[in-house]
Amino acid sequence: MPTQVTEDAGIPALRVVPVQQVPFADVEAVFGTKGDAAHCWCQWYKLPRSEWTMNDAELAQLLERQVRDAEHGPGLIAYDGETPVGWCAVEPRSALPGLPRKRLVAEGSPDLDFDDASIWAVTCFVVPRAHRKRGVGGALAEAAVAFAREHGARVVEAYAIDPSARSKVPAADLFPGTVGMFERAGFREVARPTPNRAVMQARFDAEG
């Protein structure tokens, strides 16, 4: 994947790079040591509940192994200059065994073959507080679509939050990404399982 560069008015140029091409220390810098990201390490859709006995360091090591072993994915890192400023999880749904158990996905996705490696999912964004409201999430969403398509995806799926459907949405709840952000990245809504959660897709097959 060639480095992605975005530059909008008032927003610094951002590079988005596949995680295999960066030092894992940059991933650790984005996830930090506090908050939900530092206690999950993008394992929510990967580990069964019986394995949620790992501590934060063990979860980080698990993600590091997944980065090393994955053919494509499991994510992208955004940079402002040389500073890592964001993470986006994107990979085939077949690498996420917990997805079919989520009601939002099971009832909302029009594509229910979870062994189909050509259907990808964007499941998580992590942007440290100091780098929010600067277009990092949007740049990552656009790059995720390009990355998935380049590596054989025919469908990319996301499970977005609609902030307008709730009176107040804590920042911690926005990790799946927002409807507006995905729309700007070329996704369209395909289902609304709950008032504030939408299943969205970017398709590159004949149905798109």
Task: Give pLDDT, residue 2.
Answer: 42
Element (H, E) at 107: helix 103-108
pLDDT in tens, the chain (208 residues): 544 555 444 455 799 999 999 999 999 999 999 999 999 999 999 998 888 889 999 999 999 999 999 888 899 999 999 999 999 999 999 999 999 999 999 999 999 999 999 999 999 999 999 899 899 999 999 999 999 999 999 999 999 999 988 777 777 788 999 999 999 999 999 999 999 999 999 999 766 5
Token pair for residue 40? 């999950």
Q: CA angle, corner 147, sides to 74 and 4, nearest 5?
A: 110
CA 87, CA 74: separation in Å to the nearest integer? 10
**Phi, psi at 185, each rounded to 5°:** -90, 5
91: Cα within 13 Å, side-chain hemisphere = 26
pTM of the prediction?
A: 0.91
**CB of 54 within 8 A of CB of 91?**
no
DSSP-derived secondary structure letter, 2: P
Hunting for tokens 């997805």 — which residue is that? Answer: 99
Task: Give pLDDT, residue 207.
Answer: 63
Reduced to 3 states (helix: H, G, I; strand: E, B; else coil), residue 186 is: coil
> For the chain, what are the domain ranges?
4-203
Strand order in the sheet with 188-194: 4-8, 11-18, 75-80, 83-92, 119-126, 155-161, 197-203, 188-194
Task: Give pLDDT, residue 173.
Answer: 81
**CB of 192 within 8 A of CB of 198?**
yes
Task: Give pLDDT, residue 9.
Answer: 42
Looking at domain 4-203, its CATH architecture is: 3-Layer(aba) Sandwich (3.40)
Hunting for tokens 């996905």 — which residue is that? Answer: 105
Task: Give pLDDT, residue 12.
Answer: 58
Element (H, E) at 34: none
